[in-house]
């Protein structure tokens, strides 16, 4: 009788003793699963999302430098936003590029100089675009490239203008400078397109003769 009564007691005791261990193991497993899930989630962050985060951080850094009395700082913000947007637009097809984040003191940020630098930076990638779209004719290559660049520049100007508007400085000379810069960029891109197509036409005529 004692043996029979003792046996269930021992089994019950063993079951009770095992319960904390099972709970501990389950807790450890849950933690491991959560960690694995977090890693997997982090790994799924796309390049475009990272690029967007970098761009936002860079623009915010430039925003801190903008003041009502510093027109050049406003143009520096505009330049940075445009360059960042161009990089983001081209990264999926042309790969990550060296983003020109630096805003050096003493740099000329007049509308003319800012527009020249943005156009020069953007059009430098055309040869890579051509290599990746060899099946296209030159007209198609130029048009598709201009569309990408144009959209990126518009996005950069919009973001910079929104920031300047939020700071209540998008008025007077600053607003005029932004508009002038945009106009000069459009002229520069149109000239780039014209030069590319004219050069191709000239080469075609030469080969025909």
Q: For residue range 60-77, what is the model confidence (pLDDT) as tens digits?
A: 555 555 543 455 688 888
The CA dihedral of 69, 71, 74, 76, to the nearest 10 degrees, is: -130
Contact 162, 178 (CB under 8 A): no
pLDDT at 203: 66
**Which of the two residues, 75 and 32, has the higher pLDDT score?**
75
pLDDT at 20 over 50: no
Report the percent of the chain where pLDDT is more than 90.
36
pLDDT at 162 over 80: yes
How many Cβ atoms from other residues are within 10 Å of residue 71's Cβ? 18
pLDDT at 112 over 50: yes
> Per mean pLDDT, which of 21-25, 154-158, 201-205 is the most reliable?
154-158
Report yes or no on whether pTM surpasses 0.75: no
**Which of the two residues, 84 and 22, has the higher pLDDT score?**
84
Helix residue ranges per DSSP H, the chain:
2-43, 47-65, 71-94, 111-123, 126-131, 138-166, 172-208
What mean pLDDT comes out for the span 87-102? 64
Nearest CA-CA partner of 50 in 83, 91, 98 = 91
pLDDT at 109 over 80: yes
């Amino acid at each position: 009788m004692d043996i029979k009564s003792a046996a269930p007691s021992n089994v019950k005791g063993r079951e009770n003793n095992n319960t904390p261990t099972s709970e501990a193991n389950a807790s450890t497993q849950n933690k491991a699963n959560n960690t694995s899930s977090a890693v997997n989630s982090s790994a799924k962050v796309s390049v475009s999302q990272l690029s967007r985060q970098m761009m936002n951080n860079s623009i915010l850094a430039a925003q801190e430098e903008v003041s009502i009395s510093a027109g050049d700082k406003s143009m520096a913000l505009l330049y940075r936003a445009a360059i960042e947007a161009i990089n983001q637009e081209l990264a999926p097809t042309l790969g990550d590029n060296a983003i020109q984040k630096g805003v050096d003191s003493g740099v000329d940020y007049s509308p003319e100089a800012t527009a020249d630098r943005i156009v020069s930076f953007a059009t430098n990638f055309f040869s890579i675009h051509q290599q990746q779209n060899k099946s296209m004719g030159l007209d198609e290559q130029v048009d598709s490239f201009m569309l990408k660049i144009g959209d990126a520049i518009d996005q950069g100007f919009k973001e910079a203008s929104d920031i300047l508007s939020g700071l209540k400085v998008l008025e007077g000379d600053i607003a005029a400078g932004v508009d002038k810069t945009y106009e000069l960029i459009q002229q520069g891109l149109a000239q780039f397109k014209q030069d590319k197509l004219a050069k191709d036409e000239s080469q075609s005529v030469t080969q025909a003769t």
